[in-house]
Homo-oligomer: A and B are copies of this chain.
Amino acid sequence: MTLHPQEIEVRFRRHAVRVTRQRAAIYAALVGTSSHPTADDLYRMVTRQHPAMSRNTVYYTLGVLRKAGLVQEVNVGHEVARFDGNVTMHHHLICVQCGRIEDVMDQELDQVKISNRRAKGFHVLGHRVEFHGYCESCREGRRDASPSHG
């Protein structure tokens, strides 16, 4: 989803985030992709237009945007942190081979609950569901390989 600069500014102000060129560029890059990029991916995307931008600014900005609720971190296993500009409730499909992450929007998943009896006294605020498997292109690559994982 591509965002107009004004819309970015509106969102930043609504969330009390100071508007700077660096932040707008980082946020635009993140919202403009569905690939759940790493901080370094974003650094590389954004330095094409802003060669002086420091990696530190990318980390700092992602922290600011996350605290403001404009961005979320999506962690897969123990790999490098990946970021998501989509903060509406959704879940993820994760390819165990290539690491691709795709969004799943599904009301049924959003409504998954846990019985009070099983909640062990927790006050549950939210949940997330992760599906693990092989993405379409990794499946194709595996067709003629060993059928061990089907």
Contact = CB atoms under 8 A, between A and B. Distances in A.
Interface in A102-144: 102, 104-106, 109, 112, 114-115, 118-136, 139
Chain A contact residues: helix, strand, loop or mixed: mixed
A77 B75 contact: yes
A22 to B, nearest CB: 23
Contact of A120 (B125, B132, B136): B136
A150 interface: yes
A2 to B, nearest CB: 21
Interface size bracket, A side: 35 or more
A133 B31 CA distance: 27
A118 B102 CA distance: 10
